[in-house]
A and B are shown apart, each in its own frame.
Chain A
Amino acid sequence: MKPALFDQELVVVTGKGGVGKSVVAAALGTLLADDKRVLVLEVDPRENVHQLFGVPPSGGEFVELGPRLFLQNLKPGQVIDQLVEEKLKFKRLVKRVLESPIYRHFAESAPGLEEMAVLGHALRALRGVSPKAPRVDAVVLDAPATGHGVSLLAAPLLVGEVIQHGPIGGLTRQVSKLVADAGRSGIVVVTLAEEMPATEAIELRAMLAARLDRAPDLLVVNGLYPPTTGALGADRASRLWARRRQLNERELGRLRREWPEPSVELPLLPLDRGEELVAELTAALRQQLVDGKSG
């Protein structure tokens, strides 16, 4: 059975730094774009997802990657500024507000506001209300590293507590609904089959349950060494291969025991970060998730 994320509007891809989260987000976005319009949304001031698709940096703009696939790098401040602009119709006033140090500090330090802005932006893209933005059917969000991934999803609760009215209050209510609805939004956790990343993935699963009362939809175990075959040589390379694969299998076993939700396994490939790598991983995801050979 296809996991729920094929029908969800928002798919949040999270995981510890260095596990290949962005590559998985790119591959998942590509796969979902098989039959609907998908936006891959990157939240990192230092853009890197564009390299995976072989296009120039988005610089905050929408980049069309294919007939149904789009990429955008988002600066959270951008969304809040836009709300101010829409609310205050007078240009001079807008300028004064946006340039005031008090507004800047407020926008940066108000608890959860930046994270809320990211989710709000995703929602607006889904609704097609964002000016300059194409309307999409699903957003794949390349979320910041683990701990922040949870705060991102918890932000609407935090902001909703203090801002109840106006454009932000309204947006917060809609985003809260989206994030709380397991039918509409999903969480994908990316990890490596190594001790520390696997431990963190399991901790993240517990944190999602405790803080958001949500279970992740999919675990992606990335960067697996190939299974060892037949008689291995006694040379250093063969021994290292055997040890790395053994370590992978031990952690895969632990993850299988502690992770009841669906999971997929992706191979470590002799490819630099780029289009070819994304294409290969998309094919691997398609094979396991669509053709039903799920791990």
Chain B
Amino acid sequence: MSLDRLLAPLVVVVGGGGVGKTTLAAALGLRSAEEGADTLVMTFDPSLRLKDTLGVGEEARDHEVTVASDTPGRLEASLLDAGATFNRLIERYSPDQQAKERILSNRYYHHLSGGLSGILEYMAVERLFEVSIAGDYGRVILDTPPTREALDFLEAPDRVIDFLDSGVLKVALKDWFTAEGRLKPAARFGALGRRFERLLDDLVGLELLRDMAEFFQAFGPLYAGFKDRADRVRSLLQSDETLFVLVAGPGEEEVPDLLFFARRLAESGHRVGPIVVNRVHPRFERRSGGEVDAADGVELLAWLGERDHAGLAALRELLSAEQPLAALPLMSEAPTDLGGLSELAEELVGRLRS
């Protein structure tokens, strides 16, 4: 079966940490290129696992690098860089050079772009949007940040809009500080004002407040463009162009989280594609009926196989019959080259069909 029937032009791979998301994203990317679509795989993982598997190095950070896949479609990979993406946004929406420099040199901005979780997630979708507008690829596959709260990722555009709308901006745009960096209203109100200033300083530090106020003042002219952009990013995630692939580990413990997430995705207007349960232990006959001997690997594997299949059965029970679901068996080793990735994709597509 061709991926066109299973996936969309934009594919977002989501799931908890350590479930093999990155490898599956890479495998789907390779398969897509094998089928002739020019494909980009973007990963956001700070530990940069994709580069190991695809054989691309640090040069792929914030750049698309061609993978030597020798496929009918071109396969490219890139490592997302939140800071660089944020900087580009600022450059795009700054009315002039001065406004841009004011923001880029602001200390609060550096903290913001340096690694806050919401910003990381937002920059991932922002980059997806950038790439999809450019239209250089038939398919783009985004491997999402390793967040346990995968919902953070979806809600990132909303949170950015919410933040910009919250009045923080309006308050910050007022002229709060005197040239000496003192709080203006405090100066007007004498002793009471000075107490208020002390309280603020005690709680959060006036210096940080000054940095933040400066940041939002500098950000003011960019506001409209930025908000409009966040709205469009949100629409893209909810459009027919985009499909979410959910990846989870095996075992009954995973089922509630997986179902919860699938439901939330659908309820918030997103398209849920295939659900992949990864690294399922195969089923083996037990040697004896008694207690499992932990030192006997065969007994242990049989127990793990039972556990994983019980989880799968529970999941199947709870999903609708139309929901595509693939259980991928535990492999002796994760693929470390393109050949292995290709086999993994073949296995995945094969299991989705049946």
Contacts and interface: CB of A to CB of B under 8 A. Distances in A.
Contacts of B284: 236-237
Contacts of A16: 17-18, 47, 146
B338 interface: no
Contacts of B292: 270
A87 B300 contact: no
Contacts of A269: 294, 300
B205 A166 contact: yes
B295 A110 contact: no
A110 B204 contact: yes
B131 interface: no
Contacts of A19: 18
A195 B22 CA distance: 14
Interface string A138-156: 0000001111100100000
A174 interface: no
B203 interface: yes
Contacts of B149: 45-46
Which size bracket describes the interface of A in this complex? 35 or more
Q: Which of B16, B118, B295, B300 has the most CB of A within 10 A?
A: B300
Contacts of B146: 16-17, 145-147
Contacts, number: 159
Interface string B263-291: 00000000000000000001011000000
A267 B148 contact: no
B211 interface: yes
A167 B202 contact: yes
Given A87-B199, A111-B112, A145-B17, A196 B296 contact: no
Which of B148, B205, B257: most chain A Cβ within 10 A? B205
A84 B307 CA distance: 47
Interface stretch (B73-81, B166-174, B225-233, B235-243): B166-174
A165 B201 contact: yes
Nearest to A166: B202
A238 interface: yes
B204 A101 contact: no
A196 B336 CA distance: 10
B16 A18 contact: yes
Contacts of A4: none
B253 A111 contact: no
B199 A109 contact: no
A283 to B, nearest CB: 12
Nearest to B285: A237
A247 B330 CA distance: 13
Interface stretch (A32-40, A59-67, A197-205): A197-205
Q: Which 5 A-B pairs have the closest CB atoms?
A: A17-B17, A18-B18, A166-B202, A241-B297, A111-B111
Interface of B: 16-19, 46-47, 49, 52, 107-108, 111-112, 114-118, 146, 148-149, 163, 166-168, 171, 199, 201-205, 207-208, 211-212, 249, 253, 257, 282, 284-285, 292, 294-304, 307, 330, 332-334, 336
5 contacts: A16-B146, A110-B204, A158-B111, A243-B333, A273-B253
Given A17-B146, A17-B148, A110-B208, 4 more contacts: A18-B19, A46-B148, A87-B203, A162-B205
